[in-house]
Amino acid sequence: MSRTLSLKRPAAWIALAVPAFFLLAAGDLALRSRGALLRAEREEAWRDNPAAKASYFEARFARETAGEKAGKAAPGTAPRETVLNETEKEFLISESSAKMAYIWYKTAAEDFYFPMNPWAAKARARLPAALAAWRAELAGKGVKAEDWMLK
């Protein structure tokens, strides 16, 4: 009788499943970190060019409004939906891009970190500059911010 690896044994399944699980988990963290890094870079670009941010959200909400006008919204809720969309658009445009860039860099660097993740390392390297930009924005507005408030 040979002692070959049989997939009928639970130990064989476990030996295959554990590395596969860790590989999939690492891939998931890498993709989430990449997404957060891309979002941080977009926010950083918007920090330097607020007009691009405004045009992005204007176009986004114009598409959503066009969908509502095409009859997707219930007849009685159309005015309410319009006001809610306009309020959300104004909020997103007025939200600090420097703050959001810092938050997304921090997310990519810390929340989705694992040792061989190049996107987390890139985010970690850009984190101090993003924090400095946010501090400068707050100082420009006259807001006093302590270290514990920004972490």
- CA-to-CA distance for 127 and 29, rounded, in angstroms? 18
How confident is the prediction for the chain on average, in pLDDT? 86
How confident is the model at residue 88, as a pLDDT?
92
Measured in residues, the chain has a length of 151
- Contacts of 103 by beta carbon, 8 Å cutoff, 6+ apart: 40
How confident is the model at residue 96, as a pLDDT?
94
Predicted confidence band at 69 (pLDDT cuts at 50, 70, 90)?
Answer: low
pLDDT digits (tens, 9 = 90+) for 101-122: 999 999 999 998 888 889 999 9
In the structure encoding, which two tokens stand for residue 50, read together?
């607020």
User: Rounded to two decimals, what is the model's pTM?
Assistant: 0.79
